């Protein structure tokens, strides 16, 4: 990894930290490449169940680095978009641990995640229209699926911020924490997931993601091969054996 992104593993969790506090963790090319590599590692390693993405220095991410943009730097990756994640999220669950500001692409990164943990003074926002730009890194596509579409429309057209309290009221965030505790809150949430079967967790995320585009009737047929993969796994047998033998399961992810 580069100095602009740090990565470490903790109890089955890949913690990815954007580390450009001097630029409020704005996304440049180096950040995009490093986050993409960290997400690939998360998906490839059987000992990792989920990921957390956060920022250092009291902010999550202020969006695209406009200085890099003006200098002609491409801060995206083909097929993956900005931060290497917005167009192709990981197969495994991802939690956003948000402090301070999550603006523009920073907000879009958070919306890419499956779960969001924030401190009480966080502000989200899509200020792109104020700069003659469009929130095209998935924000306009994902936000109306997470909150009422009329509220999403208002936020996107005005460029006004959304407070953590209002985000919680609208059901956008999962946990509110005290200042400075977003990462700890995300790790606590992660610890409630990592004891579960890793393959079952991954397939559950996949079904939930895709179910938004299915009718209930077609959903049963579409989820069948995914569920069959889990039922045929060694983990399914291990889970049943551990239950009957009254012991903790020893998952392999297979």
pLDDT in tens, 29-52: 999 999 999 999 999 999 999 999
C-alpha pair distances (Å), 154 with each of 127, 147, 159, 160: 12, 11, 8, 8
Decide the pairing of beta strands 123-125 and 162-163.
antiparallel
The total of other beta-carbon atoms located within 10 Å of residue 226's CB is 15
Domains, the chain, in order of start with CATH, read 5-191 (3.90.226.10), 198-244 (1.10.12)
* Tokens 């003074």 found at: 121
Question: Which residues are designated catalytic?
Answer: 108, 128
pLDDT, tens only, 146-163:
999 999 999 999 999 999
Q: What is the pLDDT along the chain (254 residues), one digit of tens a residue?
A: 468 999 999 999 999 999 999 999 999 999 999 999 999 999 999 999 999 999 999 999 999 998 998 899 999 999 999 999 999 999 999 999 999 999 999 999 999 999 999 999 999 999 999 989 899 999 999 999 999 999 999 999 999 999 999 999 999 999 999 999 999 999 999 999 999 999 999 999 999 999 999 999 999 999 999 999 999 999 999 999 999 999 999 999 88
**What is the model's pTM?**
0.94
- Distance, in Å, from the CA atom of 26 to the CA atom of 23, rounded to the nearest integer, reads 6
**Strand intervals (E) in 90-144:** 94-98, 101-103, 115-119, 123-125
């Amino acid at each position: 990894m580069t100095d602009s992104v740090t990565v470490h593993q903790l109890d089955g969790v890949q913690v990815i930290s954007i580390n450009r506090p001097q630029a409020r963790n704005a996304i440049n090319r180096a950040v995009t490449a490093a986050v993409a590599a960290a997400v690939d590692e998360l998906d490839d390693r059987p000992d990792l169940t989920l990921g957390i993405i956060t920022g250092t220095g009291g902010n999550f991410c202020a969006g695209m680095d406009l200085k890099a943009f003006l200098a002609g730097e491409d801060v995206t990756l083909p097929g993956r978009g900005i931060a290497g994640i917005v167009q192709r999220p990981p197969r495994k669950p991802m939690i956003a641990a948000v402090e301070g500001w999550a603006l523009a692409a920073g907000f879009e990164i958070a919306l890419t995640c499956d779960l969001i943990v924030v401190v009480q003074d966080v502000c989200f926002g899509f200020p792109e229209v104020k700069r003659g730009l469009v929130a095209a890194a998935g924000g306009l596509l994902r936000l109306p699926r997470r909150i009422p579409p009329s509220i999403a429309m208002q936020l996107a057209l005005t460029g006004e911020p959304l407070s953590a309290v209002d985000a919680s009221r609208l059901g956008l965030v999962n946990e509110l924490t005290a200042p400075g505790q977003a990462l700890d809150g995300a790790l606590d949430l992660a610890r409630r997931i990592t004891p579960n079967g890793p393959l079952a967790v991954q397939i559950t995320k996949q079904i939930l993601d895709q179910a938004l585009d299915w009718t209930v009737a077609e959903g049963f047929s579409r989820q069948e091969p995914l569920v069959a993969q889990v039922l045929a796994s060694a983990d399914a047998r291990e889970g049943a054996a551990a239950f009957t033998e009254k012991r903790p399961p020893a998952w392999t992810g297979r």
